[in-house]
Chain A
Amino acid sequence: MIKTKSQIAVDIIAKIGKWLFIAFFLLMTLVPIIWLIITSFKSNLEYETEPLGLPKVWQWSNYAKALNMSGLPRLFLNSVIVAVCTTALNLIVSAMGGFALAREKFKAREPILSLLLAGVLIPIIAFMVPYFSIATKLKLYDSLLILIIVYAAINIPVSLFLIYGFMSDIPKELEEAAVIDGCSFSQRFTRVVFPLTKPGLVTAGTLVFIYCWNEFTYAMLLTSSVKSRTLQLGIRFFKGQFVVDYTSMLAAIVLTMIPTIFVYIFLHDKIISGMTAGAVKG
């Protein structure tokens, strides 16, 4: 096809516009993070006098100070415990529920499914008072256990929806063959459906893990002491701990970002495809 001069001009402008658009968003996403990392290697004097340049001497000691001052190892351990236990609890509960809903037919199936999925629409933030009072009534206030239970519950609608979708796609014949071979109801779950749902479980698990790792509001509301403080809540107290040492605080923040970025680098395809699977079906 032959293009006229004006068409060629339009094409060139569109091309430039497209790359400017991409470049703008790359800058908006990356520059703050890169600036944060660079600044975390500066001395405090340099931070104030040379905010834009590279550090003259890279202050690795900021990171040593960050580790020593912030109690980071303890916060880190608490976050790992909460994230791992929540993910396990949430996946077991959601997979069991998803199995019953996806692989059996019964009268209450549709209503239960709609009820559980409606949870996605509820702003959890509105439940500050009830969650606080449930935690106190169960005598679980200020424990890692209450965070595990609350996070696992909050994530049920999303996880169950994802896992249910995967389980619905498994061909009926596989289960029928297993039943002929003498599999019971729970064996159909443990030996046939659960193993076949692995990709769905990995995706849902990754999403729940990242949620737990990054959650702040309810960690703040439901815990008070250092023994049950998670990483995100800990960062909040850095300001007080690093009063005169701003750049070491920035180093501590960089350290807290590393685990999820690390997980993301390895699992980004799974995370992205999982998010879209849930959203596109919805």
Chain B
Amino acid sequence: MRNKNWKQICLFLLPALLLYAVFFIYPLFYVFITSFTQWNGIGSMKFIGFKNFTDLFANETFRISLKNNFIWSFALGFIQIPLATIMALVLARKPKGWKVYRTVFFLPNVISQVALAMMWTAIYNADGGILNSLLSAVGLESLTRNWLGDMGTALGAVIVQQLFYIGYFMVVILASRMGISESYYEAAEIDGANVWQQEIHISLPNILPILITSVTLAMAYGMRHFESTFLMTNGGPAHATSVLGIMLYQNLGALKYGVGNAIGATLIVLGGVLIMTIRWLLNKKSQKMMG
């Protein structure tokens, strides 16, 4: 049966669907179709099959970028999320001042990546940067270096700067943990379970769905990473910190639209595959855990 308000329904949905069609669906087709072409954006497109992709996978910089994207994904998913989880479990027991800590930890999420990147660039700066100054002050002068210019430390320096901003995921996990009824913990307490046992047997199973979502999201962010690397190192030194987003931007600048979109398509497909694989693996594991 047709809804009698169907005309108005269409009218109300139209603006959202129109914007969605132009800025999500059209670009998706655009990226995938042009990724099989050689095209500078102005002239005619030349269909070249999978050449963009085979060229990319043969390209050293592309392989480094791809590897760095995976490093980002795993660092965020398997270091940042566990840290955020521990913090959420700690704060859920309401230590003195926990609301203040929650507010502080979330603060970096409202500051722009540009401001944070420039702040951290100043921190890592070889001369006058606080990191080198602190190291010298405690007698570790031998460790001082140009953190973002050194092949060995640049990638780590950019990742660490993001890794400890656990606020967003901590807040999400904390909300899920606070949703568990206190009576479970009281009952466990009476049965003699210590805090550690309570967290393992009550908290973890209950927050598991949110943990899986968080790990998946964090890994997806790792694949999409662009801004702070672009602002701090622009992929350097010698592509040591490059990621796919940086390569995409550089190809756009060089008017290699076909190659750029091949990178974009790789990003979308790999991101999707990664999300689905991780979800599937974690769900399977959690089912085993829950018996």
Contacts and interface: CB of A to CB of B under 8 A. Distances in A.
A99 B257 contact: no
Contacts of A47: 128
Given A96-B15, A125-B267, A216-B112, A236 B104 contact: no
A26 B110 contact: no
Contact of A21 (B86, B102, B195): B86
Contacts of B106: 268, 271-272
A104 B268 contact: no
A256 B115 contact: yes
Contact of B137 (A52, A96, A125, A271): A52
A126 B105 contact: no
B12 A121 contact: no
B220 A93 contact: no
Nearest to B121: A239
Contacts of B115: 232, 235, 253, 256-257
Contacts of B6: 106
Please classify the interface of chain A as helix (H, G, I), strand (E, B), loop, or mixed, using the class held by over half of its residues: helix
Interface stretch (A57-65, A66-74, A153-161, A196-204): A153-161
Given A25-B87, A261-B111, A126 B265 contact: yes
A185 B165 CA distance: 45
Interface residues of A, number: 89
A259 B200 CA distance: 41
Nearest to B163: A28
Interface residues of B, number: 92
Given A29-B105, A280-B179, A18 B260 contact: no
Given A96-B13, A123-B224, A106 B31 contact: no
B280 interface: no
B28 interface: yes
A237 B41 CA distance: 27
B50 interface: no
Interface stretch (B16-24, B55-63, B148-156): B16-24
Nearest to B195: A14
A122 B265 CA distance: 11
B235 interface: no
A26 B19 contact: no
B44 interface: no
B34 interface: yes
B248 A260 contact: no
A223 interface: no
B74 to A, nearest CB: 17
A25 B20 contact: no
Interface string A113-140: 0011001011111111111111000000
Given A156-B20, A276-B175, A51 B164 contact: no
Nearest to A151: B23
A228 interface: no
A185 to B, nearest CB: 4
A160 B16 contact: yes
Interface string B245-261: 10011001000010011
Given A29-B165, A282-B213, A105 B249 contact: no
Given A22-B101, A25-B166, A256-B115, 4 more contacts: A94-B16, A116-B20, A129-B41, A216-B114
21 contacts: A22-B90, A32-B120, A51-B133, A100-B8, A106-B3, A115-B20, A116-B17, A122-B268, A126-B263, A126-B268, A129-B41, A130-B27, A130-B261, A149-B19, A152-B19, A214-B111, A253-B118, A272-B171, A279-B172, A280-B210, A282-B213
Interface of A: 1, 7, 10, 14, 18-19, 21-22, 25-26, 28-30, 32-33, 35-36, 39, 47-48, 51-52, 92-94, 96-97, 99-101, 104-106, 112, 115-116, 119, 121-134, 149-150, 152-154, 156, 160, 185-186, 189, 210, 213-214, 216-217, 221, 232, 235-236, 238, 246, 249-250, 253, 256-257, 260-261, 263-264, 268, 271-272, 275-276, 279-280, 282
